[in-house]
Amino acid sequence: MKNRFWRTLTLLRTALFPSALFPSALLPLAIALLCTTSPGVVSAAAVLQDVASYRLVDDWPRYPSDMVFEMGTGIAADAEGIIYTISRDVDHWAAHPLAMTRYRGSGTIARWDRRGRFLGTFADDQEFIGPHSIYVDPNGFVWVADREGHQIVKLTPEGEEVFSLGEYGRFGNDEGHFNGPTGVAFLPDGRFVVSDGYWNSRLVWFDEDGNYLKEVGELGNGPGQLAAVHSVALDPDGNLIVGNVCGTALHPYVTVPGQIAPERLRPMPNCQSRFDVFTAEGEYVGVYEPVPEPGLPLSVAVYGDRVYLSVTGAARGRQDLVIVDAGTGEVVDRISSANVYVHQMAMDPNGDIYIASVYPEHGGEERGIEGPSFVRWARSRR
């Protein structure tokens, strides 16, 4: 509760004192002034309800007592408001001789309602090795990017496999293999684009049946070049926004010798993480101008005419969620300290925002059900 209360105070500071010049050190004084003026003055929490767009919901979701996992990695919502979470239950020990048996990683999809009630697990016959993200497409199909499994898996709304792309547990950099795929974006004509990913630096196009079409991208920090392609989404103008993280050899502990190409082991001078924009056909447009310096651009999502982007927050060990009007390019809202990491976010039909975070210990939080692996930010009344 202590950490969630501090996140509430951080959001209050942003709502009441939006200027970047307001120092964090003065936050306790400001809260004290708000809360101690007189018995008739509303509390800081009440003020927050009037001025903030979202409020953090305590105790979401309500985990079963026997649920065990390491961390949250992905989250999605369907048209009926059902929330899908995917967790990394056991980290993959890729370099171990028994990596694909005794020490293979695992992950689970669970479903929840808006109030946090557990609705059961989903697609239990799937053996994910290191899931990274999850999506529900416009037709209700569920997609999973399995980073350590080196696969993209498409499932029916009932959890049956439609197809899987990539060879299970085997990395590569060709038409039939991935090397740490991270996400999927869906084009209006049925094609889809895979961000590949952690140890490749490319976007890969497929037709609606999963047949390879083409790819774009190469390792580098110049225009149109990519480092770690962490996320991808289609904006209202039909362009792809890509989370381009300046890291060429991330998480080597989950790789095997030879998996990370030699050129990725060398430092990349003057590398800067950013959100990049490509057309739907893969032509480079430029840096995403509304948020030119995001810090750590882990996730991007689009709902209606809004673009939601994760950025490094002002509070240590926390990321913010920035909300941009796609039509004007203006930042129209911000959830400060949205979670330790905004690894993936989703929005339900009511407008509530859900966030999955990896490595909660980086923000001083617990792993598993005791920490902020998955959280809900409910839309507040203005």
Task: Tokens for 102, please give them.
Answer: 């005794």
**Which residue from 256, 45, 52, 78 is spatially nearest to 150, judged by alpha carbons?**
256
Regions in the chain scoring below 50 on pLDDT: 1-51
Q: Tell me the whole-structure pTM to 2 decimals.
A: 0.85
| Strand 54-56 to 374-379 pairing | antiparallel
Task: Tokens for 164, please give them.
Answer: 């899987």
* pLDDT tens per residue across span 235-273: 999 999 999 999 888 888 888 889 999 999 988 988 999
**CATH homologous superfamily of 59-379:** TolB, C-terminal domain (2.120.10.30)
Dist. CA 110–CA 37, nearest whole Å = 46
DSSP letter string over 188-254? TTS-EEEEE-SSS-EEEEE-TT--EEEEE--BSSSTT-BSEEEEEEE-TTS-EEEEEES-SS--GGG
**pLDDT at residue number 267:** 87
**Domain range summary for the chain, segments of one domain joined by +:** 1-52, 59-379
Cβ atoms of 229 and 243 within 8 Å: the answer is: yes
**pLDDT at residue number 38:** 29
**Which residues, 6 or more positions from 122, have their beta carbon under 8 angstroms from its beta carbon?**
84, 109, 110, 111, 142, 159
**pLDDT at residue number 151:** 98
